[in-house]
Structure 1
């Protein structure tokens, strides 16, 4: 339906909706600029709280070097739901339910990720304990085994060392 994106609003990353897309999908008959300004004023929405304003300057290649600025409004999901609701149309209700479903899926995903992270942290703690215990056993056992193993290595070395019978010839 309507693309939901992440934007920074009041130093926080939140889900937002492009107001022009909302206006188009709602099927509002009035011009976009008139509609959004009236709704902001009528319902007391606050810039950088309920929406952010993005101004894009377009330089046209005419003789006078005219410049044109377009304003894009990125609405928080709460503001978009309210605007969809106040249109009092079936399309508005559908869009509002769509936004609610998107939020629900996001919250479910966040909960699932949180549970996976918790499981991973528990597994990490378990592995750290296992490795710590293994290190302790190897350290303690190694102290006792080292002299025994060194003696066996020396014995094997002596056994494998070639011995040739040399007769000393003195002339």
Structure 2
């Protein structure tokens, strides 16, 4: 406690920042000599600043050295190796082929619905952000809190749709490879 701490902990630091503010924050953090612990869904921001990534999920926690691109390449490679190890069943039977085609159609429909939901949340997020920039609303604290809460809810729901979209896309790719 006799020394000044050399660590910054940031939770979603790029939320609600315009482009210039975000770039200023990135430059300031790049020149910071201490340790940064950043929780963020902003992949570009993470990619620019991170030297190590700690991922916490349902399957546990993991550490990856490097930026987001290195992390993404590694997990993609691991998934690909795991898929190559599993044996691909041969679908010769008419009934199985028809079932597979039906699953592909359903997956494509669900992917399309996810994309529509993502676009809808994009619009809602954009509307909420523009409301937060409205001078009439900026003087109403309760309205700002209400809009900010909605904005965060929209982002959480949009992230869920992105995860679902990714899972469905993976399923579709597997079905199409069979």
> TM-score normalized by structure 1?
0.31
> Is the helix fraction higher in 1 or 2?
2
> TM-score normalized by structure 2?
0.30
> Is the strand fraction higher in 1 or 2?
1
